[in-house]
Amino acid sequence: MDLPGAAHLMLADGVAHLDPARAVFEAMIEGWARQQRVRFLKSDTIESRVDVVRRLALFSNQHPWQWRAGEVEAFIDQLCSGARPIAASTARGYVGALRMFLDYLVDARYGWTSLCVERFGEAPQQVLGEWNTIAHVTEYEGRPGRRPLSYDEVQALFDAADGRADEIRARRRKGVLTAQRDSALLKTVYAFGLRRREAWGLDVTDLRHNPRAKQFGRCGGLFVRWGKSSKGSAPKRRTVLLVPEMDWVTSVLVQWLEEIRPLLSPGNHPALWVTERRGRVSKRSINEAFEKAREDAGLDPVLDLHCLRHSYVTHLVEFDYPERFVQEQVGHSYASTTAIYTGVSDEYRNRLLTRALRDRHAELWEGPQR
């Protein structure tokens, strides 16, 4: 069949290769990548999966039609041991990629099995199953240290980001505008609960007026166009409304738009966050902005930029916003995902408990019996 990635489409007939095994392996890799591209999977996803396949081939010094369960298990075991072992979720991702690659090879419609038997006398096998793959038994498998920031930690982070700009200015060094941009960016990430890619992809025109909250001006909401996609779909879109508890960010954004951003001479560039070279800020530099502020604030180095999004979810819950509203704000398809992000404080839980007791036993809380 002329399926994308079929063996007869990837290897031309009548061509003699100096290294037939290497040529077939490379054709397999390209065929698998093509099969994924036609499903509109992201290039980063495809490249990461292909990288795992190449790493296993290098580790085992064998080609895919020679792989057996022992080679794959030894490869994963080697990654899980040593000074910097990979996390269980990472290992499961690697095994999943290898399992998909082998599923592709053993699918008779693509013709790799018959080709390998004809040329090398053995066929690829699916050597990964339920007996030797990593089960997904808990909803959250991240590092325990990753958590929402407290209100004091958020304030310390922002004070550190502002302080960096003041320090550079006092020393009369270059980079004041960049530091001010980083501070405004981090505050926006928290105030709207954004992912890194969502913040990176913002344009000036993505700022929205909210007719029900005219006091926020042009900062009443953000139109997010680069939300997390799934299964080869386009990036999801949503509008994040500015909640009153985060209204302090309006002055931050207005100052950035009217006073600081023009000094970077962005011209007609649409990006909200621009560099001194008149380009869109990179995703890596957004991470670095958080890491610098975190270090200056003396916060736990396990905390990362995504923890600000966890903080946003947690604090909205503590502000008593309905769960469905919070879910829509952050663009989660399932409430269970939003629940994973939530880590409310003991103070908030005690407040809920007190409220419940007061409602249930009103006679004990009011009047002379109190």
Q: How far, in whole angstroms, is CA 37 from its chain's centroid?
A: 21
3-class state of residue 134 by DSSP: coil
Q: Give the gyration radius of the chain's Cα atoms.
A: 26
**CA nearest 328: which of 243, 269, 202, 263?**
243
Based on the residue annotation, tell me whether 231 is a catalytic residue of this protein. yes
Name 80's Cβ contacts closer than 8 Å, sequence gap at least 6. 86, 91
Angle between helices 151-170 and 283-297 (to 10 degrees): 100
CA atoms of 96 and 62, how far apart (whole Å): 19
How many Å apart are CA 108 and CA 3, to the nearest integer?
Answer: 11
Q: Name the active-site residue from 55, 146, 306, 351.
A: 306
Name the β-bridge partners of 223. Answer: 239
Which of 172, 214, 231, 277 does the annotation list as catalytic? 231
Type of residue numbered 213: A
Q: Annotated catalytic residue: which of 34, 63, 238, 332?
A: 332
Query: Pick the catalytic residue: 195, 294, 310, 315?
Result: 195
195 catalytic? Reply is yes
Q: Is residue 8 flagged as an active site residue?
A: no
| Interatomic CA distance for residues 225 and 96, integer angstroms | 29
Question: Catalytic one among 187, 309, 310, 315?
Answer: 309
Whether 283 is catalytic is no
Maximum Cα–Cα distance across the chain: 99
* DSSP assigned state of 109: G
Q: Which residues does the annotation mark as catalytic?
A: 195, 231, 306, 309, 332, 341
